[in-house]
């Protein structure tokens, strides 16, 4: 699954100053509310928190993909958050996280959930992609880089 059609430039947050993983999860829920994707931030925060308690969604290489199912959302919701500084995330490789791709999927959409996770993962494995995401200073340009990368068939 290509993620550029579901990730809008206003859903890309650059240099968010967040202190820890819990602050990131709360910020995710509040950002989905701000974007009009959900109405109950507490429900989404709880779903994300419950998922993190099962196993960290820090996949390594400075990337976190917090994800959860929620009846709060009608279609897949995706953000990209670049943190102002790396934070501990209990990632698989033990490294701190500085790029977060939060994903919220309606509870009945299991295959959509897996497709979206696969799309994010493939994008993150594209050579040079993460370096560009860490350097670009404009959310619109980051979105364009994602679109260009996916349309070129690289991920």
Q: What is the DSSP string of the chain?
A: --STTT--GGGEEEEE---SHHHHHHHHHHHHHHTTS-S-HHHHHHHHHHHHHHS--EEETTEE--EEE-TT-SS-EE-EEEEEEEE----TTS--EEEE--EEE-TT-HHHHHHHHHHHHHHHHSTTHHHHHHH---HHHHHHHHHHHHHTT--
Rounded CA gap, 155 and 126, in Å?
5
Q: Is 67 a catalytic residue?
A: yes
Annotated active-site residue in 67, 103, 133, 149: 67
**Spatial distance between the Cα atoms of 136 and 149, rounded to a whole number of angstroms:** 14
- Is residue 48 within 8 A of residue 29, CB to CB? The reply is yes
- Catalytic positions, please? 67
């Amino acid at each position: 699954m290509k993620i550029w059609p579901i990730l809008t430039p206003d859903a890309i947050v650059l240099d968010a100053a967040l202190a820890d993983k819990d602050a990131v999860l709360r910020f995710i829920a509040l950002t989905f509310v701000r974007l009009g994707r959900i109405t109950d931030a507490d429900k989404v925060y709880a779903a994300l928190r419950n998922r993190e308690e099962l196993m960290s969604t820090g996949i390594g290489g400075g990337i976190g993909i917090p994800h959860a199912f929620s009846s709060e959302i009608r279609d897949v919701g995706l953000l990209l958050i670049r943190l102002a500084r790396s934070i501990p995330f209990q990632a698989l490789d033990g490294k701190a996280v500085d790029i977060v791709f939060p994903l919220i999927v309606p509870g009945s959409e299991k295959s959509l959930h897996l497709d979206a996770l696969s799309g994010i993962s493939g994008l993150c494995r594209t050579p040079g992609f993460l370096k560009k995401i860490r350097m670009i200073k404009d959310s619109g340009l980051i979105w364009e880089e994602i679109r260009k990368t996916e349309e070129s068939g690289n991920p």
